[in-house]
Amino acid sequence: GRIIDGSELAGTVIPWSILLVSVGLALRSAVATVENRQLMAQERDQLLASLSHDLRTPLTAVSGFSQVLTQNWAEIDDHERRELIGLIGGEADALVDIVSDLNALARSELDAAQPDVERIDGKVLIADAIRLVFDLDRPLPIKAEVEPYLELLCDRRRMVQVLRALFENALR
């Protein structure tokens, strides 16, 4: 037997421990990469589902109203034509807003976009959202009770968008 002194032992233990720590870090990094990819895929899927829903509603309305106008032009009076054209314009505006938000998101500027905050009568805001979702010629399947003099400080366009989504989901 040979006697091993501390310097020889230290020389062999340190490289092995460095190797073990390095392998552990590499494994953890690989696991984190897989977890991040899975999370990104889930978030992408959720975003695409939401976008599909947000785009489908105004596109369906534009398509439907324009078909009604095209197929029944002679039977529709001027007042109804103007109303349908106004609805098509409103839905087209909603599509423009969604596409603008998508462009801002693609440029990572969505957080920088400042909301257009104003004081709004709650009854008017809710009535606007109801008009976009429900057929006003039929009895409404919901009852909206709004406190008198309810005022909201919000971005009107975005709040109507949120209320519209809530009403459409409730209707389904």
Q: What is the pLDDT of residues 83-132, one digit of tens each?
A: 888 888 888 888 888 888 777 777 776 555 667 889 989 888 888 888 87
Contact call for residues 115 and 156 (beta carbons, < 8 A): no
pLDDT, greater one: 159 or 109? 159
pLDDT at 78 over 70: yes
The per-residue pLDDT for 57 is 82
What residues contact 79, with CB distance under 8 A and at least 6 apart?
none
- The CA distances from residue 162 to 29, 80, 82, 125, 159, in Å, are 39, 28, 26, 11, 5
The per-residue pLDDT for 47 is 77
pLDDT at 71 over 90: yes
Q: What is the pLDDT of residues 124-155, one digit of tens each?
A: 888 888 887 777 677 777 777 888 888 888 88
Distance between CA atoms of residues 28 and 143, nearest Å: 54
pTM passes above 0.75: no
Q: What percentage of the chain reaches a pLDDT higher than 90?
A: 6
Distance between CA atoms of residues 142 and 31, nearest Å: 49
H or E element: which one contains 71?
Answer: helix 6-72
The type of residue at 170 is: A
pLDDT band of 70, cuts 50, 70, 90: very high
The per-residue pLDDT for 75 is 92
- The CA distances from residue 101 to 51, 97, 108, 130, in Å, are 11, 6, 10, 23
Q: What percentage of the chain reaches a pLDDT higher than 70?
A: 85
